Amino acid sequence: MAQVRNQYKEVYAPRTISKALLKALVEALAEFKPGLPTTSRKLKVKAIGAGRASELQGPEAWKVIDPHALAELEQVRVELVLGAAERRNCELHIEFRSGYIALSVADVETGWGKSVFEDTHTLLKNLGITSAGWNERLRKFYGLLEIFQNVLLALSAAIFALWLAREEASHLFASLALLVAGVMPALTRAFHFLRPPRTAPIFQETVARTRNFPWAEATAVLAFATGVLQLARALLEILR
């Protein structure tokens, strides 16, 4: 009989965290959900950097990054395996990379997967490891905006053609606004390609609190909102 395997996954924006937060995370996972009727618990942390890999197990596994230069760390993976019986377990993985922080849970016939995923999500948020608030919302909305980029450009071309036929200034303004909204993500990607942002380290000894406001994403979202308003205004004038 085939085993039932449920997957839960979420990816967060990258951020630099302190060694103290990694320690707090590992120690919290060592005592994670004590009410579960587990038959075994296995906690380990693996660090990879500069061509070297190291691994430790148990509540002190956070020390696995000590032999590495923090600036050279490429990946740190925290893994907790909760066993229920033979071939029945729930695997929790938290992965730190320069480009993202990922949380994933694989549940094999234990029924714990969703609860483990939600409680770990809350734990990461409470520790300040994952970002929240307006910054995260802006980044997610910017991701949607990139999807609609070609649609916006097509709309701007259509409205511009309408302006050429009728020579109404409102159509031109709507076209230009939508054009800006459409090309903004492309310009942002081009700027990052020509001048790649410096890769932030995954861990530091201590990390000062910074706002790290996503200006590029906010500008693109503002351009999108302006384009939609101008389009609505132009359509209302046409319908009059």
- Domains of the chain plus CATH, in order, are 5-127 (3.30.310), 134-239 (no CATH)
Q: How far apart are CA 120 and CA 105, in angstroms?
A: 9
pTM of the model: 0.69
pLDDT value at position 196?
66
| Intervals of the chain under pLDDT 70 | 1-3, 131-140, 142-146, 149, 167-175, 177-186, 188-189, 192-193, 195-198, 207-217, 219-220, 223-224, 227-228, 230-231, 234-240
pLDDT value at position 235?
63
Query: The dihedral of CA 225, 231, 235, 237: what is its sign?
Result: positive
pLDDT value at position 86?
81
Q: How far apart are CA 17 and CA 209, in angstroms?
A: 10
Cα angle 157, 161, 166 (rounded to 5 degrees) comes to 145
Packing angle of the helix pair 169-194, 134-147 (nearest 10 deg): 110
